[in-house]
């Protein structure tokens, strides 16, 4: 069993981004800029945003966080997004999800300029991903693909089971695997008998937020496990969606939680923001 070390690869990618950012600055006289919208006081969201800010600082990006109160109006957020769409110093716009119940998330995501949509959630970029065209891809599934590449794990022709069908992880994950010629099955909360689907899969990708959802009797020997889940146990421990202790004994490769997919998500955000900056500099 080999651990897929996302922390190590994320560090390597970060160093590459830092080097390319210096080159970009010398060539264009500007630095890539990322703007984040953070609404309310969800502690997990605040932690993520803090981590993103630190990562931007490390690679030499300009970054700004718009912190907004829980009860802010839809219009006020929309105005901020419009302002950032027009701001030439901002290359990437990120709306930290989830948003409070009274906010229409879809409307906000559609308002972001697709060329600044470094999270890859705009329907324009979703469409480009689905049809195999270049665009911005959601950071978490993109990070997973880089992690598999790093360990020379080829998905072509493999039976891949994606558990969880969210727009943020499951659906884009399935699209990327399909684009890489894998045979893809998507399972979700309404799937009858999950085990029936996971036990024959060569690779299982799971992101549901359910502790120990995937158990050892649900997978075959030699399976590749990518655990995208991140959960807190009652005693404050961070764990994934897979029973790591037992499943790892059957797996050929497995991602740890923490230290697997998480760091890769932030590395891809940096990479997407740099990509956006390069595209914008060509336009001017």
> Structural domain boundaries of the chain?
29-115, 139-262
Q: Which CATH class is domain 29-115?
A: alpha beta
Annotated catalytic residue, options 91, 96, 171, 275? 96
Is 202 catalytic? The answer is no
Is 2 catalytic? The answer is no
Q: Between vectors from CA 44 to CA 229 and to CA 111, what angle results, nearest 5°? A: 90
- Which residues in the chain land under pLDDT 50? none
**What is the third-level CATH fold of 139-262?**
Rossmann fold (3.40.50)
pTM of the model: 0.96
Q: Give, rounded to a whole angstrom, the gap between the first and last alpha carbons of the chain.
A: 50
Question: For position 154, what pLDDT does the model report?
Answer: 98
Question: For position 284, what pLDDT does the model report?
Answer: 64
Q: What angle do helix axes 139-150 and 6-28 make, rounded to 10 degrees?
A: 110
Question: For position 90, what pLDDT does the model report?
Answer: 98
Decide whether 29-115 matches 139-262 in CATH topology: yes
Residue 44, classified by CB atoms within 10 Å of its CB into exposed (0-12), middle (13-18) or buried (19+), is: exposed
Annotated catalytic residue, options 91, 117, 119, 241? 119
Question: For position 282, what pLDDT does the model report?
Answer: 87
């Amino acid at each position: 069993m080999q651990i897929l070390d996302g922390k190590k690869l994320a560090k390597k990618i970060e160093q590459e981004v830092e080097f390319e950012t210096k080159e970009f600055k010398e060539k264009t006289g500007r630095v890539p800029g990322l703007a984040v919208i953070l609404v309310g006081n969800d502690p997990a969201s605040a932690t993520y945003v803090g981590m993103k800010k630190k990562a931007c600082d490390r690679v030499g990006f300009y970054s700004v966080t718009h912190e907004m109160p829980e009860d802010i109006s839809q219009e006020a957020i929309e105005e901020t997004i419009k302002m950032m769409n027009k701001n030439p110093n901002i290359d990437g716009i990120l709306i930290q999800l989830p948003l409070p119940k009274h906010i229409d998330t879809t409307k906000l995501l559609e308002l972001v300029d697709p060329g600044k949509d470094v999270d890859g959630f705009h329907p324009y970029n979703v469409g480009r991903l689905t049809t195999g065209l270049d665009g911005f891809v959601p950071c978490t599934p993109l990070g997973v693909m880089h992690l598999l590449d790093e360990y020379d794990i080829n998905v072509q022709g493999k039976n891949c089971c994606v558990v969880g069908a969210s727009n943020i992880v499951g659906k884009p994950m399935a699209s990327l695997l399909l684009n890489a010629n894998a045979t893809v099955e998507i399972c979700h909360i309404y799937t009858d008998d999950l085990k029936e689907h996971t036990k024959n899969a060569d690779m299982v990708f799971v992101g549901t937020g359910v502790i120990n959802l995937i158990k050892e009797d649900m997978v075959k020997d030699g399976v590749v496990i990518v655990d995208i889940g991140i959960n807190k146990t009652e005693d404050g421990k961070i764990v994934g969606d897979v029973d790591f202790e037992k499943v790892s004994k059957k797996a050929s490769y497995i991602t740890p939680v923490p230290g697997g997919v998480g760091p890769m998500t932030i590395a891809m955000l940096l990479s997407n923001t740099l990509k956006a900056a390069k595209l914008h500099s060509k336009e001017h």
